[in-house]
Amino acid sequence: MTAIIEIDNLSKQYDKRTAVDGLNLAVEAGEIFGFVGPNGAGKTSTIRMIATLLKPTQGDIRVGGYSIHTAPREVRRTIGYMPDFFGVYSAMTVWEYLDFFGACYHIPEASRGVLIDDLMELVDLTGRRADVVDKLSRGLQQRLGLARTLIHDPQVLILDEPASGLDPRARVEIRELLVELARLGKTIFFSTHILADVAEICTRVGIIEAGRLVAVGTLNELQKNLVAQRQIHITVIDRVEEAQALALAVPGVSAVEIRPDSNHGVHAQLEIKFAGDDLALSSVLAALVSREIPVIHFSEDHHDLEEVFMRLTSSVPGS
């Protein structure tokens, strides 16, 4: 995979306040990358710099190989940018709005009609073509904003809080639309503070707090980096002490506690602290099965994105 967005030592200073502080990040082509942080963390400043709307105090950004400093026009051709609140022309219909922006991007009039029809179908606005833009719900306006963002067929979509202010159903619909756009080959970089949106669709996540990138990776990678030891739960029928001894003998197992199951008599749960990969973990179960100890439950504790986010940002000064 090739990085299509490259951010190098990016900083933005507003008088005495540092909004973005030495940010380094690479986003691969085809990713759905979630840029996560609380309000004021530096998400919007970063996105505006990617979109060439804001000049960095320090550092550079390259999109599709083009620098925001030396080739800003090429960057703008490569991206489709949607701010958290975008301006609408209140007297225009949905069709007129998209036609206007198609003309702004110098799309020939002869081909604009078919393109607009396709975009309205993609974002499910076909039945709204004659509706006045200002009368649309917030969710429908977000769909229209995505259609406008796509009108020049950009490689990369830069979306600032695309689900902000939407009701739960509209948020799900926007998430589904982003997944469909990624399936069509777009790279999507979007900021949010709604963690459920990120957990559902993102290939990778970057967590920013107080202008600094505190973690980046898949959700599984962030979970594993957060907790040094994995917590494994195994329920066995009888022969509990033997099962405990077998588990303790497996490399990577540091402790095994027995917790009786009062609801099932001879059943007991082993709570195992384990440091190792999945292949090593399978040897714990293999050791029990090889001695014909009946195992009726085998599971691992997982940390959701909210817990990962809270732990990673709680240690950042000023947060």
Residue type (1 letter), 154: P
Report phi then psi at 184, rounded to 5.
-80, 0
Q: Which residue has the tokens 């009946």?
A: 294
More confident site: 230 or 272? 272
Confidence of residue 318 (pLDDT cuts 50, 70, 90): very low
C-beta separation of 146 from 162 below 8 A: yes
**What was the pLDDT predicted at 310?**
67
**What was the pLDDT predicted at 309?**
66
Confidence of residue 274 (pLDDT cuts 50, 70, 90): confident
Highest mean pLDDT among 219-228, 240-249, 257-266, 271-280 belongs to: 240-249
37-51, 78-92, 215-229: the lowest-pLDDT one: 215-229
pTM across the whole model: 0.76
More confident site: 9 or 197? 9
Q: Across all residues in the chain, what is the average pLDDT? A: 87
Tell me: pLDDT of 319 over 50: no
32-36, 88-92, 116-120, 189-193: the lowest-pLDDT one: 88-92
Read off the pLDDT of residues 114-162 as tens digits, 9 standing for 90 and up: 999 999 999 999 999 999 998 888 889 989 999 999 999 999 999 998 8
Confidence of residue 263 (pLDDT cuts 50, 70, 90): low
**What was the pLDDT predicted at 225?**
67
Tell me: pLDDT of 220 over 90: no
**What was the pLDDT predicted at 311?**
65
Tell me: pLDDT of 314 over 90: no
DSSP 20-32: EEEEEEEEETT-E
Read off the pLDDT of residues 153-207 as tens digits, 9 standing for 90 and up: 999 999 998 887 788 888 888 889 999 999 999 999 999 877 777 878 899 999 9
**What was the pLDDT predicted at 40?**
85
Confidence of residue 303 (pLDDT cuts 50, 70, 90): low
DSSP 216-246: EE-HHHHHHHH-SSEEEEEEEES-HHHHHHH
**What was the pLDDT predicted at 265?**
55
Q: Which residue has the tokens 């997944």?
A: 179
HEC-encoded secondary structure of 34-54 = EEECCCCCCHHHHHHHHCCCC
